[in-house]
Amino acid sequence: MPRRSTKPPQVRCFDKAVDLLARQPHFVRQLELKLNRRGYESEEVAATLARLAELNYLDDRRTARGYVEGRLRRGGEGIRRMRAALVRKGAGAKAVEEALELVPKDDLAMARRSAAAWRRSRRGKLDPSALARHLDRKGFSRRSIFALVDELREESKAQGQDEEAATS
């Protein structure tokens, strides 16, 4: 009895790619890696990706824009973190730069929302350096981080003075 090939045919590669795209948008490189990991031949993957691009199912620029728009709606993330995520996912340099043009140049308002959420999750004393680390991990600009840390320090000083006045 002849042995059946364990290699999936091209149709199955295309079907798997469409299934993955139906679940969430992918970058070309990201989808290529997933299909390769699933054992599809490089030629099959290349043909599938070309066909998907031809059908307009696969578009790095559109995917990058959608990613950034979603992150902006959720808030709490700066441009550095978004750039790193897009690069890690396999977006091309041009797609990344075009998508990041959607991000406001002044990220203080977004950083302030992220800081407010961080503060709500804390119990007890708020450490300015912990806030700075949090905002840095979130990818906000140094300017916004310093402004919010200064605000927290000023607020802490004012509360300290209020507490002293109340006890005297």
Residue 8 has pLDDT above 50, yes or no: no
pLDDT in tens, 49-67: 999 999 999 999 999 999 9
Give the pLDDT score at 10: 46
Give the length of the chain.
168
pLDDT in tens, 70-122: 999 988 799 999 999 999 999 999 999 999 999 999 999 999 999 999 998 88
Give the pLDDT score at 168: 56
Please, are residues 90 and 30 in contact by the beta-carbon 8 Å criterion? yes
CA–CA separation, 141 and 8 (whole Å): 47
According to the 3-state scheme, what is the secondary structure of the chain? CCCCCCCCCHHHHHHHHHHHHHHCCCCHHHHHHHHHHCCCCHHHHHHHHHHHHHCCCCCHHHHHHHHHHHHHHHCCCCHHHHHHHHHHHCCCHHHHHHHHCCCCCCCHHHHHHHHHHHHHHCCCCCCHHHHHHHHHHCCCCHHHHHHHHHHHHHHHHHHHHHHHHHHC
What is the biggest distance separating any 2 CA atoms in the chain, rounded to whole angstroms?
96
Residue 20: partners with Cβ closer than 8 Å, 6 or more residues away: 26, 31, 34
Model confidence, pTM: 0.78
Confidence band for 155, pLDDT divided at 50, 70 and 90: confident
Residue 124 Ramachandran class (φ > 0 left, ψ -120 to 50 alpha, else beta):
left
- Provide, rounded to the nearest whole percent, the portion of the chain with pLDDT above 70: 89
Give the pLDDT score at 158: 81
> What does the block give as tokens for 98?
């075009």
Residue 24 has pLDDT above 90, yes or no: yes
- Provide, rounded to the nearest whole percent, the portion of the chain with pLDDT above 90: 77
Residue 76 Ramachandran class (φ > 0 left, ψ -120 to 50 alpha, else beta):
left
